[in-house]
């Protein structure tokens, strides 16, 4: 049995607040670097990223911005739930939502139940999403457009490991410019303006994609739902030119991998511009075609996330990396440290 199948995260390794609250700049979090070919492991900091990559490499970032997607909902019996607004459904006016109570998934709701939201809004539960029982298809009836409504009444989604309430700015990357993610594409949080400036000065290109991420609290056996993405033409050209020149394409976060791999051809991994919905689930058997490396946060190894990491780094490297991170005391979750996987 894989060691990760028995993974338990010690409470002391949870990042309970942003690094800034711990006296660090966002680019001063730690970065474990693992190389698949050599087996080398380096324990650095995120600010060292420009020194680890090489001129000619391409770093791809997700410019989706985090929305305040958590609302308080009230049931008919006057009890309250946390309602997390997730992705819209393709070709539908309905959205996916997640219900939680006391930090855990709430599974006692019923089809047709109407939940009261702030300022006279309502959420009607239409049907469970697939068979998991955790996500619901819901009809939202709001007094304002969703983005404006959440701006007035919503808060960032946070889980039990977070201590205190932090403003939405704490859940944004420095390059976020297009609101749409229910939760922060957190692998890019350590990339400060000075890191990006140094990357470009060293001849390492930085290019954007967009993928609006849904709720990330997937449970065992679940796969990611449909998510909207865009790979701009200029980014697609840069990816193909980078590979043609023999350099590496490094994705910042699993959202970038999902978007880019959705457009990659089976033969040669040529990437084209595209936008729309992706349902792609990346497994070790499928592998990756357009991505050579990955910068990712430390998250507990739920199945779909772990499959994607193994597709990029291989099972042996990922097992070793998790063991190294535990032994070296790296911090987990969205405000924690990061892992750079290189070929």
pLDDT tens-place string over residues 160-180: 899 999 999 999 999 999 999
**Predicted local distance difference test score (pLDDT) of residue 130:** 78
Whether residue 39 is predicted with pLDDT greater than 60 in this model: the reply is yes
**Predicted local distance difference test score (pLDDT) of residue 7:** 74
Average pLDDT over residues 219-243: 89
Chain segment 269-289, per-residue pLDDT in tens: 999 999 999 999 999 999 999
Chain segment 47-72, per-residue pLDDT in tens: 999 999 999 999 999 999 999 999 99
**Predicted local distance difference test score (pLDDT) of residue 216:** 80
Q: Which two tokens stand for residue 43?
A: 């324990």
Spell out where 1-130 has E strands: 30-35, 41-45, 58-62, 64-66, 70-74, 80-88, 95-101, 104-105, 114-116, 122-128
Whether residue 317 is predicted with pLDDT greater than 60 in this model: the reply is yes
Give the torsion through C-alpha atoms of 325, 328, 334, 335, to 10 deg: -170
**Predicted local distance difference test score (pLDDT) of residue 1:** 42
Greater pLDDT, 2 or 341:
341
Name the pLDDT band for 103 (thresholds 50, 70, 90): confident
Chain segment 329-340, per-residue pLDDT in tens: 999 999 999 999
**Predicted local distance difference test score (pLDDT) of residue 6:** 65
Average pLDDT over residues 258-267: 92
* Rounded-to-integer distance, Cα 228 and Cα 182, Å: 12
Whether residue 207 is predicted with pLDDT greater than 90 in this model: the reply is yes
Whether residue 224 is predicted with pLDDT greater than 50 in this model: the reply is yes
Q: What distance lies between CA 294 and its chain's CA centroid?
A: 12
131 neighbors 144 (Cβ within 8 angstroms)? no
- Work out the angle between the directed axes of helices 303-313 and 254-263 (0-180°, nearest 10): 70
Name the pLDDT band for 305 (thresholds 50, 70, 90): confident
Whether residue 4 is predicted with pLDDT greater than 70 in this model: the reply is no
Greater pLDDT, 1 or 189:
189
DSSP for 61-86?
EE-EEEP--EEEEE-TTS-EEEEEEE
**Predicted local distance difference test score (pLDDT) of residue 146:** 96
Cα separation values, 237 from 178, 241, 242, Å: 22, 6, 8
Q: Which two tokens stand for residue 173?
A: 């990357």
Q: What distance lies between CA 22 and its chain's CA centroid?
A: 22
Average pLDDT over residues 238-262: 97
Whether residue 145 is predicted with pLDDT greater than 90 in this model: the reply is yes
Give the torsion through C-alpha atoms of 213, 217, 222, 228, to 10 deg: -10
**Predicted local distance difference test score (pLDDT) of residue 201:** 98
Q: What's the helix, strand, coil split of the chain in %, to 5?
A: 30, 30, 45
Average pLDDT, the chain: 94
């Amino acid at each position: 049995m894989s060691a990760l199948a028995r993974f338990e995260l010690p409470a002391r390794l949870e990042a309970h607040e942003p690094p800034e609250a711990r006296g660090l700049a966002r680019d001063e979090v730690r970065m474990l670097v693992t190389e698949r070919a050599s087996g080398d492991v380096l324990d650095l900091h995120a600010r060292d990223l420009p020194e680890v990559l090489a001129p000619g490499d391409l770093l791809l970032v997700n410019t989706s911005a985090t929305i305040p997607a958590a609302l308080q909902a009230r049931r008919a019996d006057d009890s309250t739930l946390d309602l997390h607004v997730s992705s819209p459904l393709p070709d539908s006016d309905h959205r996916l939502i997640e219900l939680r109570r006391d930090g855990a998934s709430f599974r006692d709701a019923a089809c047709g139940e109407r939940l009261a939201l702030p300022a006279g809004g309502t959420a009607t539960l239409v049907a469970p999403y697939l068979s998991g029982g955790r996500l619901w298809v819901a009809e939202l009836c709001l007094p304002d457009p969703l983005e404006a409504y959440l701006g007035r009444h919503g808060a960032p989604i946070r889980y039990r490991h977070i201590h205190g309430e932090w403003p939405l700015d704490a859940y944004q990357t420095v390059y976020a410019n297009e609101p749409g993610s229910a939760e922060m594409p957190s692998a890019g949080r350590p990339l400060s303006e000075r890191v990006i400036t140094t990357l470009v000065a060293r001849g390492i290109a930085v290019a954007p994609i967009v993928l609006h991420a849904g709720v990330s609290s997937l449970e065992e056996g679940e796969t990611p739902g449909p998510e909207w993405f865009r790979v701009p033409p200029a980014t697609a050209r840069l990816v193909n030119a980078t590979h043609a020149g023999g350099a590496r394409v490094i994705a910042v976060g699993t959202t970038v991998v999902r978007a880019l791999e959705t457009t990659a051809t089976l033969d040669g991994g040529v990437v084209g511009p595209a936008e729309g919905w992706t349902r792609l689930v990346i497994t070790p058997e499928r592998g990756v075609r357009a991505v050579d490396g990955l910068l990712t946060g430390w998250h507990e190894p739920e199945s779909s996330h772990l499959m994607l990491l193994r597709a990029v780094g291989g099972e042996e490297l990922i097992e070793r990396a998790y063991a190294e991170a535990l032994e070296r005391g790296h911090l987990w979750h969205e405000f924690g440290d990061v892992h750079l996987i290189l070929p």
